[in-house]
Amino acid sequence: MVAIPDEELDCLTCGACCREGSDGRILIPEADLVRWRRLGRDDLAEAIVPGHFGEVAFAHRDDGACVHLGTEASVNACSIYEIRGTTCREFERGSRQCREFRRAAGVDPKTAISAKAT
């Protein structure tokens, strides 16, 4: 089975890691809250829940997905992609965890896990 190269993984058609936001897992550093308020996006700074380690995190839907997941064009696209959080930006596309999320979400179930190991 040939793995999908990292550069061909398209986050805006995937969103797998954005579906794991329950229980305050996708943390938001204070700097992001400040940045969003400066941009006039108080709504983003307020769409938060208590997160792990005493921080705040993205609010999530009943299905566990981040509240910002989904656009008119695609249910898998981040609606705030250009100004998304630091945690989102720093999550490594193509990493083992990324591949795990993709496999769990059924995005590329057969090619996912072996990609980094081959």
In the complex, the residues that contact ligand SF4 under the rule CB under 6 A are 9, 11, 14-18, 21, 26, 58, 66, 68-69, 78, 80, 84-85, 88, 91, 93, 98, 101-102
In whole angstroms, the minimum distance from the beta carbon of 81 to ligand SF4 comes to 6
In whole angstroms, the minimum distance from the beta carbon of 109 to ligand SF4 comes to 13
Residue 16 has what DSSP assignment?
A: G
Determine the Cα–Cα distance for residues 84 and 51; give it in Å rounded to an integer.
17
Determine the Cα–Cα distance for residues 39 and 87; give it in Å rounded to an integer.
18
- Our CB check for ligand SF4 shows the closer of 33 and 68 to be 68
- Our CB check for ligand SF4 shows the closer of 3 and 18 to be 18
Phi-psi region of 21 (alpha: psi -120 to 50; beta: other; left: phi over 0): alpha
Determine the Cα–Cα distance for residues 1 and 113; give it in Å rounded to an integer.
11
Are the C-beta atoms of residues 16 and 75 closer than 8 Å to each other?
A: no
In whole angstroms, the minimum distance from the beta carbon of 33 to ligand SF4 comes to 13
In whole angstroms, the minimum distance from the beta carbon of 68 to ligand SF4 comes to 4
